[in-house]
């Protein structure tokens, strides 16, 4: 079991850069409710999956995502120890996902199936972002150069590597259920703005509660500066080219990111190495 020791991680784990620290900290707010929702939707689809190889890949996906959700949830306890209560935010996201992302058993069967496909497509669209972000964090040197906390970097790269590893699964489940292009494209057109909206709200939430930033609001130039330093992916990459690539009719996640790069990181990740050693013992 992969574990991280947060006792030495400062609040601004990118030294002197609360903006970048908080933008990435939003992952800890979004992923526990988000990944638990991914699991619910994929499990709902599982009885309909026909391809045995895809069916078999669902369980490892569920295990990885539940472990990720747990690992990020632990960081929230660390933030609470630093005086930042994140529960109102994560509870609001949980309610949003329950309200707009759940099965509606009262629907007639064809409509219920379409609703499942649409939600599955939304999860596949978000998994496109997690794979792109995973590849980015495995490659960027900006956070290392900034002297970022090594435990946080390991969490991000371990998670990023596993996102790269399972990047095709939800897409393949969606495909197996005969999800068409229109459903897939529509899902991205909703998922990308929703993700952006929650992320911006998350940064505002964290910065408003950080005594060191004096309640300052995040600004666009902060993002451009951080992207120039390779500490974050830039707005053009994240908001334009990433969703556009997904909208190509022939798109498949296998064409994104590198499984070799992910495997190479997992073989040297301090937390994953410790977990393997503990497992072997």
Residues that bind Fe ion (CB under 5 A): 65, 68, 130, 163
- The full DSSP string for 227-262 is HHTTSS--HIIIIIIHHHHHHSTT--GGGSS-HHHH
Q: How far is the CB of 69 from Fe ion (least distance, A)?
A: 7
Neighbours of 265 (CB within 10 A): 20
Residue whose Cβ sits closest to Fe ion:
68
- Residue 54 tokens, joined: 């895809």
Query: At closest approach, how far in Å is the CB of 161 from Fe ion?
Result: 10
Q: How far is the CB of 281 from Fe ion (least distance, A)?
A: 26
Nearer CB in complex with Fe ion: 130/269 = 130
When the beta carbons of 65 and 256 are compared against Fe ion, the nearer one is 65
Q: How far is Cα 196 from Cα 224, in angstroms, rounded to an integer?
A: 16
**Is the separation of the CB atoms in 151 and 8 below 8 Å?**
yes
Residue with Cβ nearer Fe ion (38 or 223): 38
Q: Which is nearer to Fe ion, 97 or 227 (CB)?
A: 97
Residue 126 CB, nearest approach to Fe ion (Å): 8
CB of 154 to Fe ion, least distance (A): 15
- How far apart CA 239 and CA 256 sit, in angstroms, is 16
- Which of 218, 253 has the CB closer to Fe ion? 253
Nearby residues of 262 by Cβ (< 8 Å), 6 or more positions away? 134, 138, 160, 161, 162, 164, 165
């Amino acid at each position: 079991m992969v574990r991280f020791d947060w006792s030495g991680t400062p609040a601004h784990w990118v030294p002197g850069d609360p903006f970048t620290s908080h933008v990435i900290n939003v992952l800890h707010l979004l992923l526990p409710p988000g990944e638990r929702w991914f699991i619910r939707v994929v499990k709902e689809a599982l009885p309909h999956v026909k391809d045995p190889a895809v069916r078999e890949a669902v369980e490892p996906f569920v295990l990885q995502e539940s472990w990720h959700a747990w690992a990020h949830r632990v960081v929230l306890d660390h933030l609470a120890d630093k005086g930042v209560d994140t529960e109102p935010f994560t509870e609001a996201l949980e309610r949003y996902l329950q309200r707009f992302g759940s099965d509606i058993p009262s629907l007639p069967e064809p409509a219920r199936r379409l609703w499942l496909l649409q939600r599955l497509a939304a999860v596949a669209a978000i998994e496109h972002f997690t794979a792109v972000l995973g590849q980015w964090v495995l490659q960027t040197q900006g956070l290392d150069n900034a002297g970022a906390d090594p435990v946080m970097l390991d969490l991000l790269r371990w998670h990023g590597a596993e996102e790269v590893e399972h990047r095709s699964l939800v897409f393949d489940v969606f495909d197996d259920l005969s999800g068409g292009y229109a459903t897939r494209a529509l899902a991205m057109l909703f998922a990308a703005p929703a993700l952006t909206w929650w992320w911006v709200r998350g940064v505002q939430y964290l910065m408003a509660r950080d005594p060191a930033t004096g309640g300052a609001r995040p600004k666009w130039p902060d993002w451009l500066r951080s992207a120039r330093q390779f500490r974050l992916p830039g707005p053009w990459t994240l908001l334009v080219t990433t969703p556009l690539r997904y909208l190509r009719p022939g798109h498949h996640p296998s064409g994104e990111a590198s499984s070799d790069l992910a495997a190479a990181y997992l073989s040297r990740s301090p937390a994953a190495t410790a977990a393997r050693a503990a497992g072997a013992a």
